[in-house]
Amino acid sequence: MLRQYRMLAAYNGWANAQVYAAAAELSDAEFRSDRGAFFGSLHRTLNHLLVADRIWMKRFTGTGEAPTTLDAVLYEELDMLAAARKAEDERIIAWTGTLDEATLAASFTYSPLTQSVEITQPLWAALSHLFNHQTHHRGQCHMTLTAIGKPSLQLDLIYFLRSEGREWM
């Protein structure tokens, strides 16, 4: 499991870099236009991904800033958002490098922002959600880019493994 999560952390950073590179080619109006994704625009979806990762990483590590709403806009400008995304991806990669099998299997308790209850589950399940959540919303980013008329991005894990992720093969 450790190797799998470390690979997913590396893939996550790579895939985010692809999306941000495509976003950098957009006009401000395109970046902010509502294209029907859950959070509307590419701007708001990318902010949500950073928000969610910060919330989960605060839960996992006990450190860092955690927004109190899932739709918070942390950064208005793409360059600031991109820098924060890169730093968060590096944080996720570094943290997964510290994990061991016992920690992954151990119970983990947190309270969702959307419910005032405590949830206890193995850490591995919550970590799986973090990566799956990223993939889900990056798919919406991809849809947003293609709806604007931009080229389709190759974000599949296998493309990462065949290029910059060869060490995981």
Q: Are 122 and 107 spatial neighbours (Cβ–Cβ below 8 Å)?
A: yes
> How is residue 115 written in tokens?
């419910």
Distance CA 95, CA 101 (A): 14
Exposure letters 69-83 (e unless 16+ CB within 10 A, then b): eeeebbbeebeebbe
Partners of 108 in beta bridges: 121
Dihedral angle computed from the Cα positions of residues 44, 49, 50 and 55, in that order, rounded to the nearest 10 degrees: 120
Please, is 68 exposed, middle or buried when counting C-beta atoms within 10 Å of its C-beta (0-12, 13-18, 19+)?
A: exposed
Pairing of the two strands 119-122 and 107-110:
antiparallel
Q: Determine if residue 142 is labeled as part of a ligand binding site.
A: no
Binding site per annotation, positions = 48, 133, 137
Q: Which residues are annotated as a binding site for a divalent metal cation?
A: 48, 133, 137
